[in-house]
Structure 1
Amino acid sequence: MNKRNLKNIVWLTVKKLVGRTNYEKLRTRYNIGYWPDLKNPRTFCEQMICIKLAPEPYFSKLADKYEVRAFVEERIGSDCLPELYMVCDRVEDIPWDKLPNSFALKAVHSGGAQGVMIVRDLASDDRTKLTARARRALNTRFGIHTNEDHYLTIKPRLIAEELLLDENGNTPIDYKLQCFDGVCKVIECHTDRFGQHRKSFYSTDWERLDYATSLSPTEDIPRPARLAELIEVAEKLAAGFRYVRVDLYHLPDRIVFGEMTFTGASGWLRFTRREVDHEWGAWLLNARESTYTG
């Protein structure tokens, strides 16, 4: 058993002993360094925790990597969606022989990079190991350790989508647009998600922001050629939501949708400067309640 799995078992035991809310307080103190005030939440993280403990009914549908495609198509059309090769309920039903040689295999009930398998060369991959990874992802209860119960109500399925690569053949920068009341306030940039993971923050005018977190910062990232389009797409998808993080990819020929997240960083976004947590918290306090009902 690896260290991470052992830690998860310990935390799950604690959760069973103290309950969801007290577990959340303990995890917040452990992860970001302070005890949250859940009776009078002011910071971004405190408010995210309250949202997480009382999720909206539509969270599950729009966090589902398959179901959200219909929402995206209705809002902005299908051009921004990665090509879908298959969806299935069981590992045994994966049509390996009908899939392209490269693709991204995803568990629809996972969050972020969890449950995502990058297949660059199916012909030379160890099919047995890949099948085992897919089965493990399908059977994992994503969200149970982070208190994000809306992931637990998503029907576990697997999808195979177009593998997105940049002009150098690498996984592209993951642009996470933080939207409050339908307006993008900050763009979070993640590089090398499956390797030396780093991230930095930029304003919508592409000024680098001093929003240090526990992850190492990236090198300076050039202003995206389609920055205005990135923001426009995110804000169209974010319309009607008090808060949502819209993840997009900026490819040489188009903008591609990644996912939508309503509980950013599981409520545990550790800023090294507390005033940033309060700044984001003010944006959220001033945001109108969501009008989207699903």
Structure 2
Amino acid sequence: MGRFRSAAVRHLSDARYIGLAYRREFGKFPDLKQPVAFNEKICRRRIMPNADFTALSDRVQARAHVGRKIGKQFLPECYLICKVLDREQYHALPHRFLMKASHGSNAELCVEDKSDYPVNLLNLLGQKWLATDFHLFERIRYYQKIDPQLIFEQLPQESMDEPAQEYRFYCFHGNGAGPRIYIEAVHRGATGSFHDYYDTDWQSIEVIESRFTSGIHRQRPAMLDDALEAAAGLSEGFGFARIDFYIGENQIRFKDISFTPGEGMMHFKTPAHDRAWGKLFEDAV
């Protein structure tokens, strides 16, 4: 029965698949023809993407874009890009690194100690990632044309013992005005992840359901102003884009550009919050 259900889901159109997932999450179908709420607009982007989304969602091509747009100083060091990791390449990698796939947002592995991950193990995982059709599982059409590759980068850390903090910048461009930006601070711990939201003055704002937040007001990042300027630059030209950085005391490192964060399934505090964010960018793409 499970295999039959899986096969049936595979044959659903993207719009039907997304509609059913949305109804399961929120109890109603999204309006994909005339979207108003933020989640609806993000869902529509999954099936009607901007032509530029593919290149900027390709983690290899995105590095080149970041270097051109805001400068190479924002990029983590890249050790290797390949499809198969051979033993010579493996031995040349540093003791600690981040391994990720170019074509899927969830395909990442933080390697703190290379001796725990022999080359055969990394290749098994890497080949599993490269063989995965992330469009099929996430129904995001602009993933289809990304060339699957493995990327080995500098591990995002503030120090040897302290990981760098991840911040996500929700950048809205609408009505010809300058960008409106909200910041999500991500906190990962033994009990899961928490997501706290702030405005550009670093005042806490209520956006999502409280069960997803920590309830703690975090210290303002020392390099927040520089990160805001970089996020505004990278998101320029789009009604909305989320720019993700790792921020430490003395550095900012690019992580990702996302055009469909949460896949359009964010649990806003109220439907009014969902609609308010939807009004901040004019079009569905």
TM-score (norm 2): 0.89
Any residues of structure 2 matched to 1:2-13 within 5 Å, and which? 10=5, 13=8
Give, in angstroms, the shift of residue 15 of structure 1.
4.5
Instruction: Determine the structure 1 residue equivalent to 2:80.
Output: 86
- Once residues 191 and 95 of structure 2 are traced to their aligned partners in structure 1, the CA distance between those partners, rounded to angstroms, is 22
Instruction: Determine the structure 2 residue equivalent to 1:3.
Output: none
Any residues of structure 2 matched to 1:45-84 within 5 Å, and which? 45-84=39-78
| Paired amino acid for 1:57 | A
Gaps in structure 1 of 5+ consecutive residues: 1-5
Query: Which 10-residue stretch deviates more, 182-191 or 171-180?
Result: 182-191
| Paired amino acid for 1:284 | F
1:245 is the counterpart of 2:242: yes
Give, in angstroms, the shift of residue 24 of structure 1.
1.4
Going from structure 1 to structure 2, the CA distance change for 1:121 and 1:52 (only over 3 Å counts) comes to same
Give, in angstroms, the shift of residue 83 of structure 1.
0.2
**Counterpart pick for 1:152 among 135, 144, 159:** 144
Give, in angstroms, the shift of residue 160 of structure 1.
0.4
Instruction: Determine the structure 1 residue equivalent to 2:281.
Output: 284
Give, in angstroms, the shift of residue 194 of structure 1.
8.9
Per-residue CA deviation, residues 64-107 of structure 1 (Å, 9 max, x unaligned), is: 11111111111111000000000002244871011000000110
Any residues of structure 2 matched to 1:1-294 within 5 Å, and which? 10=5, 13-16=8-11, 18-92=12-86, 95-111=89-105, 114-167=106-159, 169-181=161-173, 183-192=179-188, 196-213=192-209, 216-218=212-214, 219-285=216-282
Retained in 1: the 8 A contact 2:101–2:151? Answer: yes
- Secondary structure of 1:85 counterpart: strand
Cα RMSD after superposing both structures: 2.4
Give, in angstroms, the shift of residue 127 of structure 1.
4.0
Going from structure 1 to structure 2, the CA distance change for 1:104 and 1:193 (only over 3 Å counts) comes to farther
Gaps in structure 2 of 5+ consecutive residues: none
- Once residues 261 and 94 of structure 1 are traced to their aligned partners in structure 2, the CA distance between those partners, rounded to angstroms, is 34
- Once residues 216 and 274 of structure 1 are traced to their aligned partners in structure 2, the CA distance between those partners, rounded to angstroms, is 16
Retained in 1: the 8 A contact 2:86–2:119? Answer: no
- In the comparison of the two structures, how many residue pairs are matched? 279
| Paired amino acid for 1:81 | L
TM-score (norm 1): 0.87
Retained in 1: the 8 A contact 2:167–2:245? Answer: yes
- Once residues 190 and 54 of structure 1 are traced to their aligned partners in structure 2, the CA distance between those partners, rounded to angstroms, is 29
Seq. identity, %: 28
- Once residues 21 and 191 of structure 1 are traced to their aligned partners in structure 2, the CA distance between those partners, rounded to angstroms, is 33
Going from structure 1 to structure 2, the CA distance change for 1:133 and 1:262 (only over 3 Å counts) comes to same
Retained in 1: the 8 A contact 2:59–2:256? Answer: yes
